[in-house]
A = this chain, B = another copy of it.
Amino acid sequence: MLRTKVFNQLARNGASRLMSTATKLTTVEVNDKTGIATLTMCRPPVNGLNLELLKDLKTSIDEIESNKSRGLILTSSNATIFSAGLDILEMYKPEKERIRAFWTQLQEVWLALYGSSVPTAAAINGHSPAGGCLLATSCEYRVMLPKFTIGLNETQLGIVAPKWFMASFLSVLPQRQAERALNQGRMFTTEEALQIGLIDETANSKEEAVEKCAAFIGTFAKVNPLARALTKQQFRSADLQQLENERQDDLEKFLFFVNQPAVQKGLGIYLEGLKKKSKK
């Protein structure tokens, strides 16, 4: 009902169409029956959020928004990782202009996803630490596969999740639970996440997770889309406005922090560990 535009048709399992082919690190498929768009992150090996993936995410969210899809399901093409979070390489010995663009783009993605006017859900088909958890908690609903972990583990890495990461987390969990989890940098197993309310359902496969996300989005079938969007906005506008007001400050704070010698040293050690791991 809401889909009025014609997209580039693509014979992919018959019932869905690929909206965009220019995008390389994300794909968007719209289900013909339901009108729901599935946005898939495809940046091997771990969907590390670098500048390019963030740009493609923003473009895809905007496409879905302007095509008036019935909903957005965020998922990963990787079998075990939803998103490993911010790409450490963007932060280690950063080039001045690029790191500014990187953080600005991350702000853009959050503003677009957390503030999206269409219903949003995450099919979390793999581990989802830090930035991965930010994306998942910016959606309105979460379905997760078993035996993975999710959480804002920034303090474990010696960094601080900014206020807007907190805002997404607080839109899901009570302050008591949110504060403790972020202070500890705690990663929750799928089971723990379900129990505390960090996710809404579990599923045994990616397909089932996507189906359950679609079922959640389906609960809005008889709801007026404009009234729904304005209602959601009323709940989220204070958080969104706060980042809008503090974007420059937020960027400068991030740059100051990331350029601390101790943080750079920590990132170096971390990357060294990753290299050794991958050589084995």
Contact = CB atoms under 8 A, between A and B. Distances in A.
Interface of A: 119, 140, 154-163, 166, 170-176, 178-180, 182-185, 197, 219-220, 222-224, 226-228, 230-232, 234-236
A160 B231 contact: yes
The 8 closest A-B CB pairs, nearest first, are: A158-B224, A155-B227, A179-B235, A160-B230, A155-B223, A155-B228, A160-B227, A182-B231
A279 to B, nearest CB: 25
23 contacts: A119-B183, A140-B180, A154-B227, A154-B231, A155-B227, A155-B228, A157-B224, A158-B224, A158-B227, A160-B231, A161-B231, A162-B234, A163-B234, A166-B234, A171-B175, A171-B176, A173-B176, A174-B174, A175-B235, A176-B197, A179-B232, A179-B235, A183-B220
Contact of A231 (B119, B155, B174): B155
Contacts of A170: 175
Nearest to A170: B175
Identical chains bound together, number? 3
A159 B227 contact: yes
Given A158-B227, A161-B231, A183-B223, 17 more contacts: A119-B183, A140-B180, A154-B227, A155-B224, A155-B227, A156-B222, A156-B224, A158-B224, A170-B175, A171-B176, A178-B235, A183-B228, A183-B232, A183-B235, A184-B219, A184-B220, A185-B228
* Among A174, A227, A228, A235, residue most surrounded by chain B Cβ atoms (within 10 Å): A227
A179 B183 contact: no
A37 to B, nearest CB: 18
A228 B171 CA distance: 21
A223 B171 contact: no
Contacts of A160: 227, 230-231, 234
A114 to B, nearest CB: 12
A3 B184 CA distance: 20
A179 B184 contact: no
Contacts of A223: 155-156, 183-185
